[in-house]
Amino acid sequence: MKAKINPRLTSNRANIFKMIEEAATPVCVDTIYLELIKTGNKLNLSTVYRGLDCLVTKGLVKRITIGEDNRFFYEVAGLEHHHFLRCLCCGLILPLEDCPIKEYEKDLSKKTDFIISGHKLELVGYCSSCSKGV
Ligand SMILES: [Zn+2]
Ligand SMILES: [Zn+2]
């Protein structure tokens, strides 16, 4: 499901949104900033931060945390619940298509009488190019 670009977004915000929408993986602030500069946009880092806050508030973009340092990454809002595989060497983030613990969650809920409202799961390791050098 893709969100529609809000026509009332400023051009900077529309560009930020377009970048997030077209990226194959979640992107962090630095990546967004550098990419926009590279493609000839004139803006500063604080504009990117403000733009992201606005997109999150408007519900177009979702802020997620990945990694031990809980760094912020951004992806298009409205995607199905999913998890990530993260390379400890190069930082590559691969979105995974499905959630392996949905059934487990149901069982656990039955067993413990606990209403489970969510979970966090991140798989880490070395991607194919990094594992060749490990
Ligand atoms: Zn890697
Ligand atoms: Zn899950």
Q: Separation of 98 CA from ligand 1 center, angstroms?
A: 21
Predicted confidence (pLDDT) at residue 3 exceeds the cutoff of 80: no
Ligand having the closest approach to the CA of 84: 2
Distance 11 CA to ligand 1 centre (A): 34
**Which 8-state DSSP code applies to residue 121?**
-
Q: How confident is the model at residue 56 (pLDDT cuts 50, 70, 90)?
A: very high
Q: Region 67-86: what's the mean pLDDT?
A: 91
What element of type H or E holds 31? helix 29-38
CB 59 within 8 A of CB 2: no
**44 class by beta-carbon count within 10 Å (0-12 exposed, 13-18 middle, 19+ buried):** exposed
Q: Per DSSP, which regions of 51-121 are E strands?
A: 61-66, 71-76, 84-87, 93-95
Identify the residue whose tokens are 């969650």: 105
pTM summary value: 0.80
Separation CA 63–CA 25 (nearest Å)? 13
The whole-angstrom separation of Cα 78 and Cα 4 is: 11
Which tokens go with 6? 């809000």
Sorted by where each starts, the structural domains of the chain and their CATH numbers stand as 1-79 (1.10.10.10), 80-134 (3.30.1490.190)
Find the 91 Cα to ligand 1 centroid distance in Å: 6
Q: Which ligand is nearest to the CA of 132?
A: 1
Give the pLDDT band (50/70/90) at residue 68. confident
Tell me the per-residue pLDDT of 83-133, one tens digit each, with 9 for 90 and over.
999 999 999 999 998 898 989 999 999 999 999 999 989 999 999 999 986
Cα 46 to Cα 4, 43, 49, 119, distances in angstroms: 24, 8, 5, 31
